Structure 1
Amino acid sequence: MTDIADLENRLSAAMDRIATGLNQLGDAPAAASGDQSGDQSEEIAALKAALEEERTANAQLEARVKALTAAAEARASGDTDGEVAAVTGAHQQEIEAIRDAAAEERAAWAGLNQRLVRLRRSNKLMRSNTLALRQAAADMVVDPELINNSLQVELDAAIAAQELERAEADVIIKTLMPMVKTGTEGA
């Protein structure tokens, strides 16, 4: 554990030095020469790369510290292999439940998308039939087939809109169901 604390301290000190160097570069007046400007930009790029490497190393060390701390606490509390296996099994079941919920949600979204496409197609047909009806009315022509066709398209559009609303409700239910299950299990 002392090695990890020592590494954390060294990383923090290195990150502070890098931040100080970047601040000094930002405060320094711009050099008149193009070579100096190029050197500074290279140095800044190198410092930024070093900072990113230090951040990555720090994140890895923090994860390692958490894992070691959890392992130490498990040893201190006297966890046995059976208890660890039970916890692992419970986590596997939870992961499977999350995957199942995600699959149901994806299926609900796919259904919603299909209904939306159908509604758009129906609306497009309804617009073209409306134009045809207007033209027939302007020409003073009564076309019973055009009227029947228009009514059928309107009915299809109403059905598609209703199916879309059902699909939206299904998506909402599938999205909220895992949260509701988690909330009731926590209570």
Structure 2
Amino acid sequence: MSDLAEYERRISYALARIGKGVEAINARVAAGVARPAEPVVENLAPETGPDIPPDEGALTELRDALEAERDANAQLSERVRAIREKQETTLASLERKLAAATKGLDEANHELVRIKHANTELAAVNRDLTDAARDGLADPELINRAMQVELESLRAGRDAEIAELDGLLGALEPLLSTLPQSGPQPSEGDHA
């Protein structure tokens, strides 16, 4: 990218020098002056004497060179514009992907916290249930509570798996969209 900027700067500078030279020559032709005391731009046109008008061929060459430089500058400007558009499109795409990945990571973290909480609660209820069984007490509320906590733990695990699968599907969708949409192609031996 820095090379393009340097080329663009150099071409712009060259165009400005050529433009000044052409303007100087046109001004001399219009004023009837063959050559100024000091040249405006060095080596732009062949030497002319005091009684010799500027060479029209050299003037035409300079105009052609100026036009060619303008065309080259326009082409480079178009290339720079296309590169910038591509960069902006790529950047926007990457920002969308980052946002989706961040959202998926946040969801996975939420489910992980939920699983940790449910597992901690399940371990505590299981300890209480074990203590009650050891003492010979069968507390229906404690058994019910243990089952509820276990169900919550299973739900949290399932939700975490769903979040993980959603992340995998999200990563696979761009790859699948590039595959051809047609079904398997029949071989030469297959006939309907």
State the TM bucket, normalised to the shorter chain: 0.5 to 0.7
Q: Distance in 1 between matches of 2:170 and 2:97?
A: 7
**What per-residue deviation string (whole Å, max 9, x for no partner) do you get for residues 64-88 of structure 1?**
xx73278659x89942433432331
Q: Which has the higher contact order (CA 8 A, sep 6+)?
A: 1
Q: Please give the alpha-carbon distance, in whole angstroms, between the structure 2 residues aligned to 1:151 and 1:161.
A: 15
Deviation at 1:169, TM superposition (A): 2.0
> Which residue number in structure 2 is paired with residue 96 of structure 1?
92
In the alignment, what sits opposite 2:81?
Answer: 85
Residue in structure 2 matched with residue 57 of structure 1 by the alignment: none
The residue number in structure 2 matching 1:34 is none
Aligned to 2:2: 67
The two structures, once aligned, show a CA RMSD in angstroms of 3.1
Work out the CA distance in 1 between the residues paired with 2:170 and 2:98.
8
8 A Cα contact 1:101 1:174, kept in partner: no
Query: Quick one: structure 1 residues 108 and 85, their matched pair in 2 at CA, closer, same or farther if it must change by over 3 Å?
Result: same
Displacement of 1:176 in angstroms is 5.3
User: Is the Cα–Cα contact under 8 Å of residues 133 and 146 in structure 1 kept in the other structure?
Assistant: yes
Q: Give 1:177 shift.
A: 5.2
Q: Which amino acid aligns with 2:135?
A: D
* Larger helix fraction of residues: 1
Cα deviation 1:112-134 (Å, max 9, x = unaligned): 00100000000011101111111
Task: Determine if the alignment matches structure 1 residue 120 to structure 2 residue 55.
Answer: no
How many pairs were matched up? Answer: 117
Alignment TM-score, normalising by the size of structure 1: 0.53
Residue in structure 2 matching 1:154, options 150, 159, 163: 150
SS in 1 for 2:138: coil
How much has 1:166 moved relative to structure 2?
1.3
The percent identity for this pair of structures is 27
Q: Distance in 2 between matches of 1:112 and 1:177?
A: 19
Q: TM-score, normalised by structure 2?
A: 0.52
Q: Which moves more between the two structures, 137-146 or 78-87?
A: 78-87
Match of 1:143 in 2: 139
Structure 2 runs not aligned, ≥5 long: 12-68, 180-192
